[in-house]
Structure 1
Amino acid sequence: MKRFKNKKTLMLVLVLALTLVAFTGCGNSNKAEDSNEKVETEGENSTYPLEVEDQFKNKVTIEKEPERIVSLAPSHTEILFSLGLEDKIVGVTSFCDYPEEAKEKDKIGDYEGINIEKVIELEPDLVVQYGKGDEGINSKIKEAGIPIVSYEPESIDEVINTINEIGKVTGKEEEAKKITEDMKAKKDEIVDKVKDEERAKVFYEIWHDPLMAAGPGSFMDELINLAGGENIAKDAKEEYTEFDQEQLIERNPDIYLAAEDTEDKTVESIKSRPGYETINAVKNDKVYLLEPNIVSRPGPRIVEALELVAKTLHPDLFE
């Protein structure tokens, strides 16, 4: 995500096409597994204060079990709710819409930025953000004496690690363990079901003007591979990259996927684009729109996204 030349365009694309709330500053050079097993305590993991090293190697001291938590991304909000922390969440972004209860929480900003004064006013004892965040905002939060931890998972395994890490930080280790064990089991079940199927050539549209694809290292690239497909943009240089239409037509995907992220994006609007009539996916009516909040958020529902993609690629296996 960090490699877009126009950051304003990037923010818009992430909101509309990925719904990943963009409060990130940079990319994902450090992986979530690097932070796994790095919560140190003086006694048991449930004992505070905790000395934490987050995904970006920031050392953070959490003096007591968090009672007031602010989330700066929909995916992290979903993680916190899944851990049973709904009563402790005091602030979320405008795009935090799952579960339904998240809509009732105080809003601290949107993709254009967060209201730092509102965050401080809520008096949280923990802020959880997606990515490195903005240095200026981070500094103000720290100056207010509020601990902030940062995670940016880019795969199912990293999501699992992030859930476990947030579970440690919030005193919900057992809940996190149960959630992630169920996720692993479901992932293995889906992968086993599709492993012997013929791999169809798949294209996933991130954006249409300009045409952008999910490249290697992106969530959708992993989901396509695990679901028994072959991503035709697997050799792109970036996770989210512009993709020439001539190249799309030449590689001729069997299945065309996109998120149903705008009202004017429909299967018919995609199929009617000039030149698309020669693509196998269009000729064989295999253009599909997927639920954006499920396929784009690196949270507990990411395995649901895998199942959704697998069902789309191999519907006969899931009847």
Structure 2
Amino acid sequence: MKQKFKFAAILMLAVFGFQLWAGGNRENSGTEVFAKVTDHRGRKVLIQKKPSRLVTPFYILSNTALAIGCRDIIVSGDGGKGGVRPFIKEFAPELAEKPVYGSAKTLNLEALASGNPDLILVPFKAADQLPQIEVLGVPALVVEPETMENFFSYVKMLGKATGKNSEADKLLKFYNEILNDVAGFIKGEAPVSVYMNSRSDALNALSPKMFQAELIKAAGGKLVTEDIRDTYWTKVSLEQVHKYAPQVVVMAAGAKKSSGADF
């Protein structure tokens, strides 16, 4: 029991430490370039001027933008299926009133066209919309932050694209300090088995492909669903969860319970 409580405390530190800190190959003819940025698709994107209207349609993208000081230029709202997220309510409630430009899987092209953005962050699942987005003539960066390495590179990418290099470096330094502290806490400890679900369904299980899985591992956990491959979330039965017999269940904030799901 003591081991489980210790793991839970360390995981909370790893997951929320970052949040607590927060308080197309398109060439333009212009000669002045504010930034040249390579996105997660390997696209070299020219940003002609310092952005003043940033679209961050996915909460991971917007949370990171807030954390490096982009609060005043974010013009997109937080409107996931479950409503405004607690982090936004706490740290940037004004985003709840801004128009929603899309989600993790798709962007609202009509809203983008009318919103007059000058930099668009495109979730990787919506990257097939790039041809239509590029027609708008607005720099767009594809972001796939589902690994620790990609998350770190996204922070640096966004810092360069928005002129917040110093703030991005400070965030990464802070994040690395947390990871190093946690590594020290768990040194020599046996891994704790963990089941984690999505916000949409308590029986929608986390796979090793997700960023959260890396956080669990960093906190000394071993994901019980590590056998799940080639997908991000997958539906499991309550019986399967019981077979996994996790020592710790991490419930996503606001997670909905499936019928009969009782952990």
1:101 has 2:84 as partner: no
1:121 and 1:205, CA in 2 relative to 1: closer, same or farther beyond 3 A? closer
Structure 2 counterparts to residues 10-159 of structure 1, below 5 A: 48-95=33-80, 97=85, 98=88, 99-110=92-103, 113-135=106-128, 137-159=129-151
Residue in 1 that maps onto 2:217: 225
| CA–CA separation in structure 1 for the residues paired with 2:246 and 2:111 | 47
Q: Is the 8 A contact 2:206 2:233 kept in 1?
A: yes
Q: Distance in 1 between matches of 2:149 and 2:138?
A: 29
Larger displacement relative to structure 2 (139-148 or 198-207): 198-207
1:235 aligns with 227
* Residues 94/164 of structure 1: CA separation in 2 closer, same or farther (3 Å cut): same
Q: Measured at CA, do residues 248 and 112 of structure 1 come closer, stay the same or move farther in structure 2, by a change above 3 Å?
A: closer
Q: Secondary structure at the match of 2:41?
A: coil
Q: Distance in 2 between matches of 1:157 and 1:115?
A: 29
Structure 1 residue 124, shift from structure 2 partner: 1.3
Q: Secondary structure at the match of 1:190?
A: helix
**Secondary structure at 2:250 match in 1:** strand
Q: Percent sequence identity over matched residues?
A: 26
Q: Please give the TM-score of this superposition, normalised by the length of structure 2.
A: 0.73
2:203–2:257 Cα contact (<8 Å) kept: no
Distance 1:60 1:182 in 2: 28
Shift of 1:257: 2.4
Over residues 98-119 of structure 1, what are the superposed CA-to-partner deviations in whole Å (9 max), with x where a residue is unaligned? 2323223333245785432221
Kindly provide the CA deviation profile for residues 198-241 of structure 1, in whole angstroms up to 9, marking residues without a partner as x: 32222223489794422222223222211112222222223433
Cα deviation, residue 244, structure 1 = 5.4
C-alpha separation between the residues in 2 aligned to 1:107 and 1:62?
A: 23
Q: What's the RMSD between the two structures over aligned residues? A: 2.9
Match in the other structure for 1:10: none
CA contact (8 A) 1:48 1:65 kept: no
Distance 2:165 2:194 in 1: 38
Which deviates more from structure 2 when the two are superposed, residues 252-261 or residues 202-211? 202-211
Alpha-carbon displacement from aligned partner over 1:253-287 (angstroms, at most 9, x marks no partner): 22222223345579x9523xxxxxxxxxxxxxxxx
Deviation at 1:169, TM superposition (A): 0.9
C-alpha distance in 2 between matches for 1:252 and 1:64: 54
Aligned residues: 223
Any idea what SS the aligned residue of 2:194 has?
strand
- When residues 170 and 261 of structure 1 are mapped into structure 2, their CA distance, relative to the original with a 3 A threshold, is same
More divergent stretch after superposition (75-84 vs 205-214): 205-214
Q: Look up the equivalent residue of 1:104 and give its one-letter code.
A: E
Q: Structure 1 residues 93, 110: closer, same or farther in 2, change over 3 A? A: farther
The answer to whether the 8 Å contact 2:57/2:104 transfers is no
Distance 1:125 1:241, change over 3 A: same
What aligned pairs does 1:160-171 form with structure 2 within 5 A after superposition?
160-171=152-163
Distance 1:149 1:50 in 2: 12
How many angstroms apart in 2 are the aligned matches of 1:202 and 1:117? 42
Letter in 2 for 1:177: D
Unaligned runs of 5+ residues in structure 1 are 1-46, 272-319
CA distance in structure 2 between the aligned counterparts of 1:236 and 1:109, rounded to whole angstroms: 28
1:300-315 matches, within 5 Å, as: none
Say whether 1:201 aligns with 2:201: no
The farther-off stretch of 52-61 and 159-168 is: 52-61
| C-alpha deviation, 1:91, in angstroms | 2.4
Output one character per residue of 1:128-152: Cα deviation in whole Å (capped at 9) or x when no partner.
Answer: 12115153x4223211211110111
Whether the 8 Å CA contact 1:210–1:242 is kept in 2: the answer is: no
Confirm or deny that 1:214 pairs with 2:206: yes
Q: Is the 8 A contact 1:48 1:64 kept in 2?
A: yes
User: Are residues 235 and 49 of structure 1, via their aligned partners in 2, closer, same or farther at CA, if it must alter by over 3 Å?
Assistant: same
Instruction: Specify the alignment match of 1:172 in structure 2.
Output: 164
Name structure 2 gaps, 5 residues minimum.
Answer: 1-31
The CA deviation at 1:193 is 0.8
